[in-house]
Structures are given as structure tokens and as C-alpha cells.
């Protein structure tokens, strides 16, 4: 399993970019990605068709590469699907599972997500498990229970901080330009952490935020002590916007380590 920094900055490229464009973008990001001793790990999630080319082009850098989904079975007659083993073979070290665009548009259930996560863990991939409530669920005051049932039903056994991270992505914040408030993020991350404590042996997995994270709000979001990183969609398609978000993570990490050491951050 790949070693990760304390904070993760992840770029979900969704169904964008051909092979050449994907390699160009990953190379631009790789040039400025943090080094191995950094507190911040950066990864990109290209479409399947570009994954191997991107992984090969980033091999000598510290940029990690992941898949956007995988199947729950190791192999079989599943036309159009990709197994976790195939992702690993193509050079992926991580996989996003349970993204709301799959839960909502493709009817993916938490049980299916759990099977996929089990398959991914068997292949040594680090799982980014996405959870998120809709606008209607938030308005109805059901958001805490929705996240609780998604988490409990999607989480496979044998999870540790090393093999899985959670991405809290409110559905109403994805691609809308409306990110959750600091108060909403604090409340939900604390809720998820409380739910995880009895379910995990050892240190609690990282909890990331996703949903309209941009260069101009990343610093505020990453300054929240409960946020261990961000999952970025739209803004990750632009190298300079994505690298500004990486810079925000580096600067907030520095502040956090100075504060922990009792130093004043300049
Ligand atoms: P967004 O997407 O940053 O474009 O809102 C986030 C995501 O879907 O992971």
C-alpha cells in the first residue's frame, strides 16, 4: 500500500481529457507536486483510457494516480467494467468509490460500493470512499442519518487509515459553485469521525471535503483542522488552479506543524 502524507489533494478528472491532454496536464502538475517528505500527497484520477499513459509519465515524480471506479469482482463477463486488479496493473495506487454521480445517476447502492471497496483493498489500492447527502435530504434535516447509513453500509471490513480515506461531498455542492460552509463542514466531519471511532482499529482515516473546491476558497477550507484534504473536480482540470490548491494545503500544513511545535507561523 502506498505511503501517504497527512493531507491529500486529489483531482477527479471525471469524463474529461483524451490521452494526450491527460499526460500534458499530469506532467504540469507532477513538476510542482510536493516531494516524498512532504506532508501533502497529490493524486490525479484520469479516465480509464488515459490511466496507464498518465501513470507512466508520472513514474519518476511524487504524483500518484488513481481510478475513478472499479468492479466488485476480480474478473468475468461484465462488459464495459474494469476490475481493481486492472487498475493496479495500469499503475493506479488509489480508487474513488461511491461518488454521488455514480450513486445518483447510475443507481449504485452502498452494498455495491462495499463490494467494490473489498475488491480494491485486496488489490492493495487505497480507497477514497465518497459520502454525501442531497439538497432535499439536507433541507429535510436527514443529512446526519443519510451519511451514517451510507458510511455503515459502504465501509468494508479491515479498514485502516493506511488503506482508506473518506471524502465528504455534499451532492448540492458538486459542480454548482456552492461549497458547504465552514460550520457545515466542521459538523459533518466531526459526525463522521464519531461514527468511525468504533468501526476502525487504530488511527482514524483521513476525512476529505469535496464540492466546488476552487483556488479562491481552498485556503479557507484547508485551514479547518477537521479537513485532511480535498477532492477537487472542475478546478483540477486546470493546472494552475489545481496547483494553487496544492499550495494552500502546503501552507496550511506548515501552519499546523508550527502550531503543534508551539512555534509562531510567519
Ligand atoms: P467539483 O467536483 O469540484 O467540480 O464540485 C467535485 C467532485 O465531484 O469530486
| Count of Cβ atoms closer than 10 Å to residue 109 Cβ | 13
Strand runs (DSSP E) across the chain, as ranges?
A: 7-12, 40-45, 64-67, 94-97, 126-131, 164-168, 207-210, 229-232
pLDDT of residue 266: 30
pLDDT band at 178 (very low <50, low <70, confident <90, very high): confident
C-alpha 14 to ligand 1 mean position (Å)? 9
C-alpha 11 to ligand 1 mean position (Å)? 9
pLDDT in tens, 34-47: 777 789 999 999 99
Question: Whole-model pTM?
Answer: 0.94
Q: Indicate whether residue 232 lines ligand 1 (CB < 6 A).
A: yes
C-alpha 228 to ligand 1 mean position (Å)? 16
Residue among 71, 93, 99, 191 flagged as catalytic: 99
Has 203 been annotated as catalytic?
no
pLDDT in tens, 124-149: 999 999 999 999 999 999 999 999 99
Q: Indicate whether residue 130 lines ligand 1 (CB < 6 A).
A: no
pLDDT band at 264 (very low <50, low <70, confident <90, very high): very low
Q: Report how far residue 56's alpha carbon sits from residue 195's, in angstroms, rounded to the nearest whole number.
A: 38
Residue whose CA lies nearest to ligand 1 atom number 6? 233
Residues 6+ apart with CB under 8 A from 94: 2, 10, 43, 45, 64, 65, 66, 67, 125, 126, 127, 128
Per the DSSP assignment, residues forming a β-bridge with 131 are 168
pLDDT of residue 97: 98
Q: Report how far residue 21's alpha carbon sits from residue 47's, in angstroms, rounded to the nearest whole number.
A: 11
Structure letter (DSSP) for residue 173:
G
Q: What's the rounded mean pLDDT across residues 91-102? A: 97
Q: Which atom of ligand 1 is nearest to the CA of 100?
A: 8
Residue of 174, 217, 238 best suited for mutating to test ligand 1, as the one with most atoms within 8 Å of CB: 174
Q: In whole angstroms, how large is the CA radius of gyration of the chain?
A: 17
pLDDT of residue 262: 45
C-alpha 174 to ligand 1 mean position (Å)? 5
- pLDDT of 258 higher than 90: no
pLDDT of residue 54: 98
Has 99 been annotated as catalytic?
yes
pLDDT above 90: percentage of residues in the chain: 87
Q: Indicate whether residue 11 lines ligand 1 (CB < 6 A).
A: no
Q: Indicate whether residue 120 lines ligand 1 (CB < 6 A).
A: no
Q: What's the rounded mean pLDDT across residues 104-129? A: 97
pLDDT above 70: percentage of residues in the chain: 95
pLDDT in tens, 227-246: 999 999 999 999 999 999 99
Amino acid at each position: 500500500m502506498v505511503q501517504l502524507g497527512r493531507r491529500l489533494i486529489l483531482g477527479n478528472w471525471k469524463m474529461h481529457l483524451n490521452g494526450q491532454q491527460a499526460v500534458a496536464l499530469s506532467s504540469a502538475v507532477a513538476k510542482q507536486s510536493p516531494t516524498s517528505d512532504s506532508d501533502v500527497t497529490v493524486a490525479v484520477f484520469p479516465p480509464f483510457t488515459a490511466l496507464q499513459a498518465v501513470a507512466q509519465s508520472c513514474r519518476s515524480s511524487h504524483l500518484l494516480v488513481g481510478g475513478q471506479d472499479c468492479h466488485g469482482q476480480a474478473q468475468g463477463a461484465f462488459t464495459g467494467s474494469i476490475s481493481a486488479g486492472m487498475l493496479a496493473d495500469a499503475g493506479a495506487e488509489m480508487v474513488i468509490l461511491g461518488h454521488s454521480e455514480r450513486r445518483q445517476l447510475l443507481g449504485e447502492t452502498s452494498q455495491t460500493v462495499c463490494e467494490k471497496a473489498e475488491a480494491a483493498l485486496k488489490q492493495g489500492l487505497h480507497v477514497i470512499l465518497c459520502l454525501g447527502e442531497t439538497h432535499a435530504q439536507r433541507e429535510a434535516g436527514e443529512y446526519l442519518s443519510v451519511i451514517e447509513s451510507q458510511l455503515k453500509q459502504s465501509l468494508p471490513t479491515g479498514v485502516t487509515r493506511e488503506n482508506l480515506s473518506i471524502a465528504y461531498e455534499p451532492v448540492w455542492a458538486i459542480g454548482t459553485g456552492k461549497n458547504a460552509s465552514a460550520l457545515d463542514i466542521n459538523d459533518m466531519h466531526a459526525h463522521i469521525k464519531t461514527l468511525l471511532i468504533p468501526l476502525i482499529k487504530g488511527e482514524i482515516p483521513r476525512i476529505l471535503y469535496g464540492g466546488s473546491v476552487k483556488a479562491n476558497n481552498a485556503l479557507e477550507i484547508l485551514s479547518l483542522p477537521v479537513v485532511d484534504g480535498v477532492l477537487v473536480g472542475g478546478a483540477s482540470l486546470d493546472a494552475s488552479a489545481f496547483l494553487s490548491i496544492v499550495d494552500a494545503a502546503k501552507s496550511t500544513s506548515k501552519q499546523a506543524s508550527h502550531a503543534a511545535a508551539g512555534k509562531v507561523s510567519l
